[in-house]
Chains A and B, each alone.
Chain A
Amino acid sequence: MRIRAAGRSTSPGEPRVSATHREVLPGIHWIQECGRHRAAIADALAASGSAWAAGGRALHVPQNAYLLAGERTLLFDTLSPAAGDLVLAALDEILDGRPLDYLAASHPDVPHAGNTGRILRRHPGARLVAPRAGETHALYHLDDALHVGPEDEIDLGGLTLRFPVATFLDAALHTWMTEETTRTLFPVDWLGFPHVEGECLQRTDEIDAEIGVDRLEAFHSRVMFWFQYVNVEVVRETTNRLARAFAGYALAPAHGLVIRDDPGRYFDLMNEVVTRVAASGRGGVL
């Protein structure tokens, strides 16, 4: 597995950056699994001649996990089994001797929860947190976890976590998360998009390119393949309601870059994405 460095220097007063993680917002550490996994999507985009994908730079579709560190700590998602060593090492560096208090799985999908067992064995005091939504927790050995939903809050001491319904999702056993102090929404599989070599671990306001609808379409036409079967107006109405509910929140997806500036633009882009996918069909598989 190739893990690329972030390609960004650290200077005084700026968030710490390393090859696999950085503190992207106060108390929110972004751990990224990046490389030429999912080469099919990269190859398809390169073949399509997308302007942003040109230039011979490698395309990445990342997995992200987020370590939230207040007085207590919580890891949201675990990266894929291919990055087990990476996530354990990143946790060691970030925690620096502190305990991991909670391990939360957004949903029991292998690229999101595939290192749960390893992390719990390394941090046996961590409490497993899982979505309350869904019906089959025991099939995933999540029946004994702390189940969370929209009515719940976890106070990390300086950071406050809530668990809104996962509005756009794959598995039914699923939750999104917000951190209310920084006003950050973690929309898991929604709002993912590929990036190119050199953009790893960069917020969208830190890269040269503007994220356009084609990047978001490349991801969602594969992962949310079911957009091809939807009533577009129902999805657009729902997206517009999300935009109002989370106006001003930074966006921290599981498969894209963190969006701090002008997040409202991305809700509009997603309305265009669903319109396109419903018209043109599935882009492929991921």
Chain B
Amino acid sequence: MSAPGPGPEATGVRSADAGIDAAPRDAAPSIPVTGDVAWIHECFPERGGHLHVSVYLVRVPGGNILIDSGSFYHRDRLADRIRRATAGEGIRSLILSHSDYPHSGNIPALRGEWGDFEIVASCADPEIQGLPYARRSRIGETLEVLGRPFTFLDPPLADRSHTTWVYDETARVLFVADGFGTLHPPGACDRFWGALPDVGRAEGVAEFHRQTLRWLEYVDPDRLLGTLERMFARHPVEAVAPIHGPPIAAADLDAYLGMLGDAVRAIARRRPDHTGKDGDG
């Protein structure tokens, strides 16, 4: 086993898994999404509900592909889930949506356990993102990872500029990084988006995007929503797979997009009011 690569380093200096709102360790390590794609998640208690910090497992004949690596906050628990979900086989390749710590923070630890598996990263300069060993993906191109084609898309809902959405051409699952999240109530952590309680579901969509994508305060909703509509027309999905929310089945996508549209319009109507030195404009 080789030593962990450098990878993005924690901004703080504490150990992993500190103070987690724990779920039982004998819970199912993964939940099937569609075909050979499975959802592996942990939760983070946040104002307004729970926030998922997920990864996804794609099982192909050549091995297991992980989409994102989760936060170092959940390091031990996520590694345990991946170990159990793969019957100890581990990971052969990892596709990174972007290098933000809750997505990339476990790369060194996972490579420490399963060797220097391939990292596919979207950024223009992997070295600056702490990933000098990564294979670069480019927006607009299709790459084969362990023989399976993935297309890398320009993400309309993202915060970091080097983010990419990843479309699994085989399973028709769109992995959407920081987009399409939902805060959910405690006790609903294992449910798909369509099975969340009706009460509070729209608020969970709105609050997630208000908290996470601050630039939506400036958005022209029609520009943004039109771009999403065209993207789904070009890349039809069986499921949408966010990192910070439950998977959304194709049958529920119109309902989600309706709530997202309402949320984006409400955020845009508020107008930014924080441009002054004292925060009140």
Contact = CB atoms under 8 A, between A and B. Distances in A.
A binds B: yes
Nearest to B53: A139
A115 B104 CA distance: 15
B214 interface: yes
B101 A170 contact: no
A165 B44 contact: no
Interface residues of A, number: 70
Given A63-B128, A82-B128, A285-B123, A140 B277 contact: no
A151 interface: yes
Contacts of A121: 13
Contact of A164 (B10, B47, B279): B279
A184 B65 CA distance: 47
A25 interface: no
B205 to A, nearest CB: 15
A139 B73 contact: yes
A108 B11 contact: yes
Contacts of A167: 272, 274-275
Contacts of A235: 218
Interface residues of B, number: 63
A250 B46 CA distance: 37
B161 interface: yes
Interface string A30-61: 00000001111100000000000000000000
Interface stretch (B26-34, B55-63, B219-227, B253-261): B219-227
B278 A151 contact: yes
Contact of A230 (B101, B218, B275): B218
A144 B14 contact: yes
A110 B128 contact: yes
A173 to B, nearest CB: 10
B73 A172 contact: no
Contact of B73 (A80, A138, A230): A138
- Chain B: interface secondary structure? loop
Contacts of A67: none
Given A135-B211, A229-B220, A110 B129 contact: yes
A162 B10 contact: no
Contact of A286 (B18, B101, B124): B124
A127 B222 CA distance: 45
Interface in B141-189: 154, 156, 158-162
A5 B188 CA distance: 56
Contacts, number: 194
Contacts of B162: 285-286
A70 interface: no
B12 A172 contact: no
B161 A224 contact: yes
A13 B259 CA distance: 62
B218 A234 contact: yes
Interface stretch (A15-23, A92-100, A210-218, A240-248): A240-248
Contact of A169 (B53, B128, B139, B215): B215
Interface string A149-167: 1110000000000101101
B161 A225 contact: yes
A246 B277 contact: yes
A172 B13 contact: no
B55 to A, nearest CB: 14
Contact of B19 (A63, A138, A223, A234): A138
A41 B125 CA distance: 10
A116 B12 contact: yes
Contact of B12 (A128, A149, A238): A128
Contact of A229 (B46, B102, B104, B156): B156
Interface string B185-214: 000000000000000000000000001111
Nearest to A242: B275
A149 B11 CA distance: 19
Nearest to A220: B161
Interface in A250-267: none
- B19, B47, B213, B214: residue with the most chain A Cβ atoms closer than 10 Å: B214
A148 to B, nearest CB: 12
A184 to B, nearest CB: 13
Contacts of B139: 285
Interface in B1-58: 6, 8-14, 18-19, 44, 46-47, 51, 53
Nearest to A138: B73
B69 interface: no
Given A110-B130, A230-B218, A241-B281, 10 more contacts: A40-B124, A109-B160, A110-B99, A110-B101, A117-B13, A136-B44, A142-B12, A229-B227, A285-B122, A286-B124
21 contacts: A37-B125, A38-B128, A81-B8, A81-B128, A82-B130, A109-B100, A110-B99, A110-B100, A110-B104, A128-B11, A136-B44, A149-B279, A170-B215, A172-B211, A229-B219, A231-B268, A235-B218, A238-B272, A282-B154, A284-B124, A285-B161
